[in-house]
Amino acid sequence: MRKLITGLFVAAMSFGVVEAQASQQTWKCVGASYVCGGASKSKLGTSAPKQPSASYSTKKKTKKYSAKSSGKKTYSKAAKKSGSSKTAYRSTGHKASGKASYYWQPQRVASGGWFNPNAMTAAHKTLPFGTRVRVTNHHNGRSVVVKINDRGPYVKGRIIDLSKAAAHSIGMQNAGVVPVSIEVLGKS
């Protein structure tokens, strides 16, 4: 019965038996000015958020970590990176053991970019983005250095989620979850 009434109403509107008009009231945007296109002022602010300047430096500042005799970790800016393709990382001393898993689905990462399954990256619950970590597979002793760029894993007992490429390099792609140890090497 409901379908019949709805059908009759739609047919009546189509043939002009029943008039349907838009409201004659003016529309008013309620929100921040950058949402409304500058048409309205709001409590949150009256100007658009500042956009980054187009003139920025693409040079990456690298930091060199060292330990003083007092036991505190300090760093200074490195002058220039050497031409070597292999990079030696110095441990900061933080180590942990647990289980690692890996993921490969394209998705947004917590650091703001898109996940790249072919990059040597990982997800950790608390380490800062950009931190370099050495992950060692306990089954075969193979290790890989990854950069933290996401948050997770959120499964009990797991301490790190690796990208597909990092998982492949330590031989865990067929296992799914393996026992590992992680060693924090510093921030890149």
Give the model confidence (pLDDT) of 91-144 as tens digits.
567 899 999 999 877 788 888 888 898 999 999 999 999 999 999 999 999 999
Instruction: Identify whether 71 is part of a domain.
Output: no
Tokens of 157: 């007992």
The model's pTM: 0.52
Confidence at residue 20, expressed as pLDDT on a 0 to 100 scale: 55
**For 33, left (φ over 0), alpha (ψ -120 to 50), or beta?**
alpha
Instruction: Identify whether 173 is part of a domain.
Output: yes
Give the model confidence (pLDDT) of 32-82 as tens digits.
655 566 544 444 444 444 444 444 444 444 444 444 444 444 444 443 344
Read off the amino acid at residue 7. Answer: G
Letter string b/e over residues 43-74, b meaning 16 or more CB atoms within 10 A of that residue's CB: eeeeeeeeeeeeeeeeeeeeeebeeeeeeeee
Instruction: Identify whether 154 is part of a domain.
Output: yes
Domain count across the chain: 1
Instruction: Identify whether 151 is part of a domain.
Output: yes
Instruction: Identify whether 147 is part of a domain.
Output: yes
Tokens of 20: 């349907």
Q: Enter the DSSP assignment of 145.
A: E
Range of the domain at 154: 90-187
pLDDT range class, residue 24, cuts 50, 70, 90: low
Total H helices, total E strands in the chain: 3, 8
Instruction: Identify whether 94 is part of a domain.
Output: yes
Listed residue (4, 121, 130) closest to 62, CA to CA? 130
151: pLDDT strictly greater than 90: yes
Q: Residues near 9 by Cβ (< 8 Å), separated by ≥ 6?
A: 18
Strand residue runs (E) in the chain: 63-67, 73-77, 95-103, 121-123, 131-137, 143-150, 158-163, 177-187
Confidence at residue 187, expressed as pLDDT on a 0 to 100 scale: 84
Instruction: Identify whether 117 is part of a domain.
Output: yes
CA distance 109 to 2: 47
CATH number of 125's domain: 2.40.40.10
Instruction: Identify whether 62 is part of a domain.
Output: no
Give the model confidence (pLDDT) of 77-97 as tens digits.
443 344 434 444 455 678 999
CA distance 35 to 48: 8
